[in-house]
Structure 1
């Protein structure tokens, strides 16, 4: 194993999730198909060298999604300018937690949520000069 190929996310409202990941977060669409036999959309989004597979299914069961629940804790995106990204998200009405500093790496980060409450993180991939 040498890289993450994709992360699959099931949204409860496909149009809302697609708008969030494409129009607000800015991930380009690689491919999008409607699978009639499953009454399901699948949209492949480019995220650096990996992909997000965004799915819809009729009545998906809910899942605990708080960061400390068992299972996948959160999905983190690397950013060069955390303050600019936070400002951009907030201009779209996306609430971000207060910025924190990782005590081990000295990198700044914050959490926010997708339309279904999935915890997402912005992680600044460079130490800021003061």
Structure 2
């Protein structure tokens, strides 16, 4: 039986991205030893989409109010991408210090 999921972010600056997740996004974490932080994720859902690139995986964090969350992040010095609308909700990109980006969206679809 599957009991959970472990998501990995690959980065060019793991210390900066870990600090961003912990201090800016305020995602709870534990130090599993030597500064290796493991973050607790909120309840998750998984979608499967077609794409020309196989073996491509993306991480989107979900919020209830995209505008409010973007304003909160702006107050912490984070400049998100311009929000966009899709049939499933509104979304933006959140830049990580290591050069990557997380998705952030306000879901408009039914959630499991």
Structure 1, unmatched stretches of 5+, are: 35-40, 51-67
TM normalised by structure 1 equals 0.64
Higher relative contact order (CA 8 A, sep 6+): 2
| Number of matched pairs | 102
Tell me the C-alpha RMSD between the 2 structures: 2.7
1:1-130 mapped onto 2 (5 Å cutoff): 5-34=5-34, 41-49=35-43, 71-72=55-56, 74-102=58-86, 104-105=87-88, 107-126=89-108
* 1:32-78: CA deviation from partner (whole Å, max 9, x where unpaired): 311xxxxxx4210001146xxxxxxxxxxxxxxxxx98753531001
Question: Normalized per residue, which structure has more strand?
Answer: 1
Distance, in Å, in 1 between the alignment partners of 2:79 and 2:53 is 21
Alpha-carbon distance in 2 for matches of 1:4, 1:118: 24
Structure 1 position 19, deviation (Å): 1.8
CA radius of gyration, larger in: 1
Q: Contact 2:84/2:91 (CA < 8 Å) preserved in 1?
A: yes
**Structure 2: gaps (5+ residues):** 45-51
Which residue of 1 is the match for residue 47 of structure 2?
Answer: none
